[in-house]
Amino acid sequence: MIQFRDFNLKLLVLEELMYGPDPLLPVYDLSERLAGRGIGDPTSYVLEHGLHAQVLPESRAHFEALDIPAELLARVEELCFDAGAEIFRHCAPAWDGEDDLFDVRSLDDLVLLPNLREVTFVEDGVLAVADAAEVFAARGIETDLD
């Protein structure tokens, strides 16, 4: 099983593979999973139970255990560091994007993405790596940095 060091970078990879224009992995649907437990509205549920500032344990467990085969990782050519990523709604449905819950703090896992060629929302998204521009440039990855 391929291990990611940065859980949040793995989420962005899964965003591309699950919720992108051509999904390559089955979609994880938190609403559907919670409905199976009799919970109708994920946002209300997390707010009522004080879970709004964390990744829900069931979502974290699912995504941490999910093995992404190397052949799928090789198909990722583009990543978007947008705080509005769909996958975040399935992890923390009441997250407002105003804190660092989904900040990517390490780019060490880029080695797992041999065909990554472009990243967007680098300045305005969930990337918290000081030397990110240099890391991307060294790997020949285009960015939307000015």
Q: What is the pLDDT of residue 124?
A: 79
Does a structural domain hold residue 1?
A: no
DSSP string across 74-106: TT--EEE--TT-HHHHHH-TT--S-SSTT-B--
Using the structure block, give the residue that is written with the tokens 């769909």: 86
Does a structural domain hold residue 145?
A: no
Which candidate, 109, 85, 74, 62, places its Cα nearest to that of 12? 85
Which candidate, 128, 40, 118, places its Cα nearest to that of 80? 118
Q: What is the pLDDT of residue 132?
A: 94
d(CA 76, CA 113): 7
Number of domain units in the chain: 1
* Residue pair 121/81 in contact by the 8 Å Cβ criterion: yes
Residue 96 lies in domain: 7-138
Does a structural domain hold residue 16?
A: yes
Mean pLDDT of 120-139: 92
The per-residue pLDDT for range 80-118, each reduced to its tens digit, is 999 999 999 999 999 988 899 999 999 999 999 999 999
Does a structural domain hold residue 99?
A: yes
Does a structural domain hold residue 36?
A: yes
The per-residue pLDDT for range 23-74, each reduced to its tens digit, is 999 999 999 999 999 999 999 999 999 998 999 999 999 999 999 999 999 9
Global confidence as pTM: 0.95
Does a structural domain hold residue 18?
A: yes
d(CA 137, CA 83): 22
Does a structural domain hold residue 134?
A: yes
* Residue 125 pLDDT class (50, 70, 90 cuts): confident
* 146, pLDDT greater than 70: no
Q: What is the pLDDT of residue 68?
A: 97
Residue 119 token pair:
């990243």
d(CA 125, CA 109): 18
d(CA 34, CA 53): 18
Does a structural domain hold residue 146?
A: no
